[in-house]
């Protein structure tokens, strides 16, 4: 890698915050593990946040690069949450990194990977996995978002399993 992920993520956040200055609403941006590990990322985002006010930015933490040291990252995320930034674990799945992140990081939302949503539509085991993910998120105090919601039937099934939000073509 070229080591540019932090700069790229900052450029995306800068553009998102500029859009929020011009328009009402809320925006979500994906941020890599490498970026949130870098103290400069938090400092720069905090400076830019002052102009838009609380509750308008959602940071989605991706698993593109696994986070090695969770305690400092947990502190950065907690400080961002303190100023009104919501934190989401993106593409949550049944892997060890996802479970560690959910256990150790302060999060507001857990976005369930679309492959699990698809599997829930066709099997009892798939539904059991969604229900378990929902239970884990709820125990942490986080809301869940199901990815790849494309039909009314998928949306109804996710609601039945306790998932509060959906994302997809529907």
What would the pLDDT profile of 126-150 be if each residue is shown by its tens digit? Answer: 999 999 999 999 999 999 999 999 9
Task: State the pLDDT at residue 64.
Answer: 67
Q: Specify the 3-state DSSP secondary structure of 43.
A: helix
* Token pair belonging to 18: 């500029």
Question: Which pLDDT value is given to residue 40?
Answer: 86
d(CA 161, CA 27): 26
CA–CA separation, 135 vs 65, rounded Å? 26
Could you give the CA distance from residue 95 to residue 91 in angstroms, rounded to a whole number? 11
Q: Which whole-number Å values give the CA distances from 83 to 33, 42, 51, 57, 114, in the listed order?
A: 20, 12, 12, 10, 30
What are residue 150's phi and psi, to 5 degrees? -115, -20
- Other C-beta atoms closer than 10 Å to the C-beta of 24 total 6
pLDDT of 39 reads 86
Sheet-wide strand order for 109-112: 27-31, 57-61, 86-92, 109-112, 143-146, 165-166
The predicted structure's pLDDT at residue 141: 96
Please state, in angstroms and rounded to a whole number, the distance separating the CA atoms of residues 93 and 129: 9
106-121 burial code (b ≥16 CB/10 A, e <16): bbbbbbbbbebbebbb
Which tokens belong to 90?
């993106």
Contact 161, 134 (CB under 8 A): yes
User: pTM value?
Assistant: 0.90
Question: What residues in the chain have per-residue pLDDT under 50?
Answer: 1
């Amino acid at each position: 890698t070229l080591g540019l992920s932090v700069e790229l993520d900052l450029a995306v956040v800068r553009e998102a915050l500029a859009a929020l200055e011009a328009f009402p609403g809320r925006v979500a941006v994906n941020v890599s593990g490498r970026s949130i590990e870098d103290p400069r990322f938090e400092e720069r985002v905090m400076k830019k946040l002052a102009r838009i006010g609380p509750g308008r930015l959602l940071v989605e933490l991706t698993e593109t690069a696994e986070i090695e040291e969770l305690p400092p990252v947990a502190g950065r995320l907690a400080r961002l949450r303190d100023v009104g930034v919501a934190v989401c674990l993106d593409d949550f799945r049944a892997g060890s990194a996802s479970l560690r992140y959910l256990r150790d990081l302060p999060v507001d939302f857990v976005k369930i990977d679309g492959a699990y949503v698809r599997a829930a539509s066709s099997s009892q085991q798939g539904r059991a996995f969604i229900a378990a993910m929902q239970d884990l998120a709820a125990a942490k105090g986080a809301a869940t978002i199901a990815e790849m919601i494309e039909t009314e039937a998928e949306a109804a099934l996710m609601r039945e399993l306790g998932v509060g939000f959906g994302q997809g073509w529907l």
